[in-house]
Amino acid sequence: MAKEKIDKEKNFWVNVKKTWQYIKSCKGLLLGYGTVSVVEGIIGAIIPILAAQIILKITDGLMDELFLAGLVVFGTETLLYIIYYFKGFFYQRIYQETLVRLQIAIAKETLRLEIQEIDKSSSGLFIDRLNKDTEEISSMFMEFAYWSSYFISNVGVLFALFVLNKYFFAFSLFKSLLIFFIDKKRLSKQYEIRENVKKIQEKKTGLTGELVRGIRDIKVLNASQNALEKTRTKILENSKEEVKILDISRKYNWLENNARSISDFLFIVLGCFLFSKNLLSISVFVIVYNYQDRVSNLLIGVSNLMEYKKKFTLASSRIFEVIGDEKFKKETFGSKRVEKLEGKIEFKKVTFGYNEDKKIVDDMSFTILPNETVAFVGKSGAGKTTIFNLITRLYHQDKGKIFLDGFNIDDLEESSIRDNMSLITQNSYIFNMSIKDNLLLAKSDASMSEIKEACKMACIDEFIMSLPSQYDTEVGEGGVILSGGQRQRIAIARALLMKTEIILFDEATSALDNETQSEIQEAIKNMKGEYTILIIAHRLSTIVDSNKIFVIDDGKIVASGTHKELLKTSSFYKNLYEKDLSVNLK
């Protein structure tokens, strides 16, 4: 237990140091915030004394002095409100700048994550950390400064009380400690639950996000009730844990309020006793009475610092799990830079599995020469798409070596790999932006003529030009206003815009009608001989003109050759082709 406490303390200071990297550029703003906080603390300690003077002058009937005292209080409070204004100004600027830097950093690191880390985690995990945890860290760092200045100013009040009356000082210190320990107990119990709440919130965020994104499928499947029930379960689970925290707060607030009420009464009893013994004057009693709430709340500042410390440790640990490399693996690349690949691809005894139990690619070797058009065929789950994932370095092979133009893929920079190839899938994501901006993701400096050329090759330009806003049309989340075929053609145009030497088509025409598919096939045929083209096709009739066809079964290449050669030498391929042919004839 002691070791765990030491580890948490160490973790807190490590995370403070890490967070400082995102705040230190605001040094000027921090200096301003610190200065006004000190001035606020000084004024806060003076105001109760001035207020007590007002009361004394009224009770003593010193009306000629009351105006001047009131003017002093007015001026002091006006200065305090000016301080509040500038303190808020500094706070907001520091908060926003820190939040922006943290969110950009975590977004950047999320994009560096290995795909399998995304695959095995809920999207809510990363969404919550990007949004909620960064907001908590940005605000909590400033809360430390606020409660520190609050505590310092109240220490000054406690010192003043010690000078005025040592009996009230001792009583107020006791009251403050009592409230502090009640608060400390509350925070300890809440923290035990809060970490679990965070994990449940991540799952709830992921599920509710999927509920919105998948609403069309839910409606078509008539699965609204089932989806609602799953969402309801997560919401109730989260609510149940939140209620536990609220119950703890309510119980301990009740206890704290009773402790305050009893101590306030005892404060008056003590005052009456001290006055009867000539140990207390009316004027001191009035001043001390004005101070009592400040003193009793002295250690509330400490409690809040402890609470924010725990919240900060939890939120920052979750953020730096993503930003760091310890928990979530990041993509790694070599340092060798190659500006332009010719398009030669080699697999040498490559093995890969998404888990240790099953090999998806098993001891596979093959060579694809520059400007060849090569197809991969086989049953669903045979490993075809996985081959593409390995070539694009979305996944890293477990064994063997992959070469691009004779360079080991492990030695190449990210840009040397991905700037030289484009992947078009049947489920390419269309972002919630204009058609033009979706295309510019592939090439940010592309001219309008380049964009239109790519769209014409993808047989989508005519449709785009028929829209009221043409290329500036907003397509909605996931390209919701487009048909499946239109989304796929925009994805094809986006990839073609890159003009890479290697182009990979993974069932890229599966959502297209026969006429459009024929047009795309004609466009691909026109590229033949100029690019290295790799194709995974559901319809085998579309790849019969390939220079080479690899037949994949259970992670292995069981046959290879041209279409005509395979019909003669591979019964497996012949059966696939004849089955596909009979389905298409129907």
Is 344 in a helix, a strand, or coil? coil
Whether residues 287 and 363 fall in one domain? no
Whether residues 316 and 451 fall in one domain? no
Whether residues 494 and 510 fall in one domain? no
Residue 113 DSSP class = B
Residues 6+ apart with CB under 8 A from 425: 385, 491, 506, 507, 508
pLDDT at 109: 79
- Do the domain assignments include residue 7? no
Please state the domain count of the chain.
3
Whether residues 495 and 352 fall in one domain? no
pLDDT at 586: 46
Whether residues 171 and 87 fall in one domain? yes
* Element housing 331 (H / E): none
Whether residues 395 and 527 fall in one domain? yes
Domain end point (choices 499, 532, 559): 499
Residue-wise over 423-448: b if at least 16 C-beta within 10 A, else e? bbbbebebeebbbbebbbebeeebee
**Residue 441's CATH number:** 3.40.50.300
Q: What angle do CA 567, 568, 571 make, to 5 degrees?
A: 65
433: left (phi over 0), alpha (psi -120 to 50) or beta: beta
HEC letters along 424-452: EECCCCCCCCEHHHHHHCCCCCCCHHHHH
Domain end point (choices 439, 469, 499): 499
Domain end point (choices 462, 481, 499): 499
Q: How far is CA 521 from CA 303, 384, 458, 583, in A?
A: 69, 20, 10, 19
Whether residues 505 and 494 fall in one domain? no
Half-sphere exposure of 246 (CA within 13 A, CB side): 6
Whether residues 47 and 166 fall in one domain? yes
Structure tokens at 198: 């965070």
For β-strands 502-506 and 421-425, DSSP reports them as parallel
Q: Cα separation of 116 and 504, whole Å?
A: 21
Using DSSP, how many helices (H) and how many strands (E) does the chain show?
A: 20, 10
Whether residues 345 and 211 fall in one domain? no
Whether residues 142 and 79 fall in one domain? yes
Q: Cα separation of 262 and 510, whole Å?
A: 76
* E-strand stretches of 359-420: 361-368, 373-378, 399-404, 407-408
Is 536 in a helix, a strand, or coil? strand
For β-strands 407-408 and 399-404, DSSP reports them as antiparallel
- Do the domain assignments include residue 328? no
| Residue 539 domain boundaries | 336-420+501-586
How high is the mean pLDDT in each 10-residue block of the chain (586 residues)?
52 77 82 83 73 72 78 86 87 83 81 74 70 76 68 69 80 82 78 70 67 57 65 74 80 84 86 87 76 69 73 79 76 87 91 84 90 88 87 89 92 88 79 86 86 87 90 83 81 83 80 68 72 83 85 89 88 82 54
Whether residues 99 and 124 fall in one domain? yes
pLDDT at 3: 47
